[in-house]
């Protein structure tokens, strides 16, 4: 009985960990944000909920006033209109009320902007993302050997060779041939620009709360710290030409040990390093089969 209980717990843990890797991507009829993978995105989710406590009552209040005016002060019910020119109390209320509401919204919004825009000291990883029509180039800076590679949208014909036939894990029009790989729980400094002769793009990763313009001749800076391993998908979010919709962003968050091994191998052979990393990541799902064998 104890073996069965441990096996069940292990299976549940593996399934939950595997599911988290598939969560950070768009879903059909999605109306809310993607699950937060960083502290910044958690704060964005909180701020959205916070603002709704103001937006919904104000919207309903204005709706009630409109209905009241239409019904009570229509021509047939109010043939002699009021000639009141002002009301001191109403003037004070509709001036002081919005001021207080704006203050209540401004304080947490400034705190959120400060969290987003203030770069942490001594980041663990620095990556430069350069946009061109219509792909991304990633440069890992500060390592023993330079690492730079392009990231294109994965074509259907290339899926078998890349080992990415699973559309749930590698969705169509979002999966890429070479993902940006980062370690979990580490601060990543991201430098974003566009090629000098290109157009404006935007690097957007919804689960991280990251969205920053890639402007030719300008180097913008942002950061993120992913708190959960898995695959995360974003897109270019600035209209950049005819293939704007085919310029996805893929970021794979792995353990520090997996990241170190991948970084050491990627400089010599990126393709083989990616395959070895995928095999290492996917081997974790086999723990479910091991648990099932134990229970038998």
Domain boundary assignment for the chain: 39-73+88-117, 125-287
Percent of the chain with pLDDT over 90: 70
Helices (H), the chain: 2-21, 39-72, 88-117, 159-162, 256-266, 270-282, 287-295
pLDDT band at 76 (very low <50, low <70, confident <90, very high): confident
Q: Which CATH superfamily is domain 125-287 in?
A: Cupredoxins -  blue copper proteins (2.60.40.420)
**Within 10 A of 39 (CB to CB), how many other CB atoms are there?**
14
The pLDDT score that the predictor gives to residue 260 is: 93
Instruction: Report the pLDDT averaged over residues 203-212.
Output: 95
Distance CA 140, CA 129 (A): 9
- The model's pLDDT over 119-152, given as tens digits with 9 standing for 90+, comes to 999 999 999 999 999 999 999 987 667 899 999 9
The pLDDT score that the predictor gives to residue 148 is: 93
Distance CA 20, CA 60 (A): 37
- The model's pLDDT over 165-202, given as tens digits with 9 standing for 90+, comes to 989 889 999 999 999 999 999 999 999 999 999 999 99
The pLDDT score that the predictor gives to residue 283 is: 81
pLDDT band at 284 (very low <50, low <70, confident <90, very high): low
- What does 15-49 look like in DSSP terms, one character per residue? HHHHHHHTTSS--TT--SPPPP-SHHHHHHHHHHH
Residue 26 tokens read as 């768009």
pLDDT band at 289 (very low <50, low <70, confident <90, very high): very low
The pLDDT score that the predictor gives to residue 219 is: 94
């Amino acid at each position: 009985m104890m073996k069965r209980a441990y096996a069940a717990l292990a299976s549940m843990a593996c399934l939950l960990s595997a599911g988290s890797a598939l969560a950070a991507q768009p879903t059909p009829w999605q109306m809310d944000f993607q699950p937060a993978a960083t502290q910044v995105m958690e704060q964005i989710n909180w701020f959205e909920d916070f603002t709704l406590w103001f937006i919904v009552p104000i919207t309903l209040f204005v709706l009630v006033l409109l209905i009241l005016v239409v019904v009570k002060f229509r021509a047939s019910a109010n043939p002699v209109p009021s000639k009141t020119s002002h009301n001191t109390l109403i003037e004070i209320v509709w001036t002081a009320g919005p001021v207080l509401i704006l203050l209540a919204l401004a304080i947490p919004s400034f705190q959120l902007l400060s969290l987003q825009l203030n770069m942490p000291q001594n980041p663990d990883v620095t990556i430069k993302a350069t946009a061109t029509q219509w792909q991304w180039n990633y440069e890992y800076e500060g390592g023993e050997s330079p690492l730079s590679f392009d990231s294109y949208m994965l074509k259907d014909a290339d899926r078998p060779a890349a080992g990415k036939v699973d559309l749930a894990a590698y969705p169509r029009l979002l999966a890429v041939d070479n993902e940006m790989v980062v370690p979990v729980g580490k601060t990543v400094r991201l430098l974003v620009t566009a090629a000098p002769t290109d157009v404006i793009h935007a690097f957007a990763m919804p689960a991280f709360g990251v969205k920053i313009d890639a402007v030719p001749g300008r180097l913008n800076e942002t950061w993120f710290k992913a708190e959960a391993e898995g695959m995360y998908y974003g897109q270019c979010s600035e209209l950049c030409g005819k293939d704007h919709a085919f310029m996805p962003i893929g970021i794979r968050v792995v353990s520090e040990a997996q990241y170190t091994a991948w970084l050491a191998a990627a400089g010599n052979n990126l393709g083989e390093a990616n395959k070895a990393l995928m095999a290492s990541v996917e081997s974790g799902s086999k723990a479910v089969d091991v648990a099932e064998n134990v229970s038998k």
